Structure 1
Amino acid sequence: MTDLPLDHVRTLLVAVDAGTFEAAARILHVTPSAVSQRIKALEQRTGRVLLVRSKPLRPTESGVAVVRFARQLAWLEDSARAELGLTGASSSGGGYGDSGDGTGSGGPGRGVPVQTLSIAVNSDSLSTWFPEVTARFSANAAVCFDLHREDQDYTDELLRAGLVMAAISSSPKPVQGCVVRPLARMRYRAVATHGFVRRWLPDGVGATDLAAALTVAPVIIFNRKDDLQDGFLRGIGVPASGPRHYLPATDAYLYAVESGFGWGLIPDVQARQFGQVELVELAPERPVDVPLYWQQWKLAPALLSEVGEVAAEVAARRLG
């Protein structure tokens, strides 16, 4: 990697994070043509196609390796600047860019060395306990968070692609070049309103025909990556669900369940924190536990490791 032109490597990272040549050009204060030419030159240098020219731009398998290298190089710069007390930062979480005022592209103010930490977080954690983690660092002007929302079964893909430096994942298997530590288990329960149960499960939730009822009762699913409800149904021997509503927002999902729109799996921490309506648990003997893990680069800034420590403490306390 040492013979790769660093300005071209940095340009690739900015393009991937920004999503388009035009957006990358604005960050780098060059023309879109210059961005394209730098990346083309880098591809010629490596002999590999590094970027899929789609919207948004996507790194190829070879491009992922270069993007990961660029992001690691960026935070090394951040760390060195912080240790030397230099102003500005290279914006390690979101690419390189210089505002020209000595504060860097991601800094909160003049004269403050800043590290940007890019972290992938699943939606339910992001909506419940993880904000307490970031709040612990609110007085630290040396850090900016760049959080990426993704399903816990897919956050490690962002880590593998070099798009983030750490992730809250459901996988205990570390991504190559990363270390993993357990956080806690997020417990989900299949619930619905009393009115929904009276309509769709007239014999009660403890009846032996619960499985049959759930083949026709409407279910609420977060998005098409969400396998929680289907996993629950498979566990009770239901091959397919009834009508499926997709609501990809945590608050809207809970509101839909509380409105009797359908049944769904709600994490205990969310029900305690935001629940406004008494819900009926459909299968009290079958909660769904999703283990969560903190994954981060082995070679990582101390500040990122500190965030991981806080995440472990908060998750253990809030999720029990």
Structure 2
Amino acid sequence: MNQVQVDTLLAIVEEGSFEVAAAVLGISPSAVSQRIKALESDTGRVLLRRTTPVEPTEAGEILVQTARRIALVQAEAQAQLDARVRSIPLSVGVNADSLHSWFQPVIGKVAGLGGATLRLRVEDETETLGMLRRGDVLGAVTSEHTPVAGCEASRLGTMRYYAMASPGLHKRAWEEMPMVLYSKQDPVLKSTLRGLGLELREMRGRRNFVPAIDAYNEAVRVGLGWGMIPEIQAEALLESGELVVLDNVHLDLELWWQRWRLDSEMLDKLTEFVHEAAAELR
């Protein structure tokens, strides 16, 4: 395979379109199309879905993952050869609650490395593994302990979520209380309901969707509905009485770090930083 063509494939996937990839690579869109057609001809596979944004097919994902591995190794080699190295891409999948709390020190430590580029992708802890499997990220905070092929997994700790609400809501029946969901999937809240012997469809109270952590916690605080909030995010609000725990209902979420099994000094450092930051978990 032609490495230039593979690099072009990676650029299209990262930028989401042929046109933007062409601008980034400094070539014409027609040249980008020609490279991809030649690569698809060589491999005998369709590599891209011409959607908006452009997405790789299953065969394309294999080449994209390979290209990212090569890019990391090349960047590290360049870092050793050239002190003026511009960036070493460290792409990470992380769930929003972790990013909003214990994960934040990782950002400062990566900044201290000098020359490293950190790219964070935010998804539910049940979805970050898909990014790793597709090769979109080098490492991921996930709730899955079984390693993805080509990766290794290590335990980070447990995030404890409590069902919380404003004091004015806590005496209502579960089925009648309004609720706040982070997303329509919201695996933490749905798991909590199942633990109570309930399903989301049985809840007669209104459902609110607030897909941002600060706004989500504020929505629960002001009484828009009850929600699942990590203990480490709500300590001050519990102490002040602005939030109360509902019937001591909680969910313990085991978190794991999965990363590519790759001999990489930068990836080793990132793993070290993630584990140091996760020390405050249970």
TM-score tier by shorter-chain length is over 0.9
What number of residue pairs does the alignment pair up? 278
Query: Contact (CA 8 Å) 1:214, 1:238: kept in 2 or not?
Result: no
Residue by residue, what CA displacement relative to the aligned partner does 1:251-306 show, whole Å, maximum 9, x if unpaired?
A: 0100000010000000011113777762111121x310111111100014211111
Q: Structure 2: how far apart are the matches of 1:152 and 1:229?
A: 13
1:271 equivalent in structure 2: 234
1:181 equivalent in structure 2: 154
1:223 to 183, 186, 193: 183
Residue by residue, what CA displacement relative to the aligned partner does 1:198-228 show, whole Å, maximum 9, x if unpaired?
A: 5xx1xxxxxxxxxxx2222111110122121
Query: Contact (CA 8 Å) 1:181, 1:295: kept in 2 or not?
Result: yes
The structure that is strand-richer by fraction is 2
Q: Structure 1: how far apart are the matches of 2:163 and 2:169?
A: 13
Q: Structure 2: how far apart are the matches of 1:41 and 1:26?
A: 20
Q: Structure 1: how far apart are the matches of 2:197 and 2:136?
A: 38
2:88 equivalent in structure 1: 115
Query: Contact (CA 8 Å) 1:188, 1:266: kept in 2 or not?
Result: yes
Aligned-residue offset at 1:26: 1.1
TM-score (norm 2): 0.94
Aligned-residue offset at 1:232: 0.9
Any idea what SS the aligned residue of 2:219 has? Answer: helix
Residue by residue, what CA displacement relative to the aligned partner does 1:41-66 show, whole Å, maximum 9, x if unpaired?
A: 11111001110011111111111100
- The amino acid across from 2:77 in the alignment is A
Is 1:261–2:224 an aligned residue pair?
Answer: yes
Quickly say closer, same or farther: Cα 1:64–1:15, change in 2 above 3 A.
same
Aligned-residue offset at 1:229: 1.3
1:192 equivalent in structure 2: 165
Is 1:43–2:16 an aligned residue pair?
Answer: no
Aligned-residue offset at 1:85: 2.6
The structure that is helix-richer by fraction is 2
Unaligned runs of 5+ residues in structure 1 are 89-106, 108-113, 202-212
Aligned-residue offset at 1:176: 0.6
Quickly say closer, same or farther: Cα 1:51–1:274, change in 2 above 3 A.
farther
TM-score (norm 1): 0.83
Identity of aligned residues (%): 41
Any idea what SS the aligned residue of 1:186 has? Answer: strand
- The amino acid across from 1:154 in the alignment is E
2:129 equivalent in structure 1: 156
Q: Which sits farther off after the overlay, 272-281 or 62-71?
A: 272-281
Query: Contact (CA 8 Å) 1:188, 1:268: kept in 2 or not?
Result: yes
Any idea what SS the aligned residue of 1:248 has? Answer: coil
1:290 to 240, 247, 253: 253
Query: Contact (CA 8 Å) 2:110, 2:118: kept in 1 or not?
Result: no
2:10 equivalent in structure 1: 13
Is 1:53–2:46 an aligned residue pair?
Answer: no
CA RMSD of aligned residues (A): 1.5
Unaligned runs of 5+ residues in structure 2 are none
